[in-house]
Amino acid sequence: PDSMAMESRQSAIVIPEVIFAILAGSLVFWRIINNVILKRLFRLADLLIFLAMVSNLVALSCSSLSTQYGLGRHIYDPKITPDKLQICLRWIWIGEATNLISMLFAKLSIAAFLLYLDFAPGYKIAMWITVAIVVVCNGAVALTSIFGSCNPISLHWNMNQPGQCWEPVVSKICTYVQSGSNIVTDVLFTSVPIYYLSTVKLGANVQWGLRIVLLFGLIATVCSVVKIAVAGKMFNTQDPTWDAVDLSIWSTAEVNVCIIAACLPPLRSQFDSFLRRFFGMAFSRSTNRSRPTYG
């Protein structure tokens, strides 16, 4: 239909990507400056979150490039020529691969930081079990699916060549395993530390500050749940360049919220001091405005 052919959702992809790139990139930069430059302390968790952000920026760039060749438009839009579609699908595949790599690094960064916490042996066991889930599901399953599902790999974007891909049901299972594991690990990364926080002696403000920061990770869980819902329709779509928009948005949100969540616990004390100064200044201005004057 001519009226639908001219529709475009490209801005719905690019605008959130720019916002997330600024937010997540700023926090990672702040974390690296705080730990490496100020504290002269560069741990494995910092390296992993840096690699996650680099991979994420590559994924965001590829996704934005794909909109120039058709992502966000209907497949039957006359602007999408066969050559453009092939380029579009190639950028989508590279973006998807680097998105999965970014998620793997972000999850491992969270795990590396939480393993620094010196709680009971049961805590360490729970964290190492979570690491195993990340390595198997976000690493082995996800990366095997993206790099091994088609032979040759270029069959993902160029179907006019000999080769073969996995049965759709296998790719579907891998997608659900990877997304489902994100939900499980998000819950474990949040609930296990919060439970063990109650077993140590910390000030009430510190306790609640850490709990709030850790609970932020559950926002990524919401993104994962929505992503699973929108991913299902992609396996039967007849309009991939249009229907992939929602999946692209939620995949971007999922990994960027995960990166942001990974940066919050190490920066908690900086947030505390910033908020104290901010609200202290606001309170002072409010007091001065409300104070009566005489004369």
Q: Which domains does the chain have, with CATH numbers?
A: 2-266 (1.20.1070.10)
Q: For the chain, what percent of residues have pLDDT higher than 70?
A: 86
Q: What is the pLDDT, as a whole number, of residue 150?
A: 94
Q: What is the pLDDT, as a whole number, of residue 204?
A: 66
Reported as a single tens digit per residue, the pLDDT across 252-286 is 999 999 999 999 877 766 665 655 564 455 444 54
Q: Assign 95 a pLDDT band (cuts: 50, 70, 90).
A: very high
Q: What is the pLDDT, as a whole number, of residue 212?
A: 78
Task: Decide if 113 contacts 40 (C-beta within 8 A).
Answer: no
Within 13 Å, how many C-alpha atoms sit on residue 150's CB side? 14
Model confidence pTM above 0.95: no
Q: Which residues pair with residue 165 across a beta bridge?
A: 150
CA distance 237 to 200: 52
On the question of pLDDT at 292 being above 70, the answer is no
Q: What is the pLDDT, as a whole number, of residue 98?
A: 97
Name which of 251, 227, 223, 230 is nearest 100 in CA terms. Answer: 251
Between 285 and 152, the higher pLDDT residue: 152
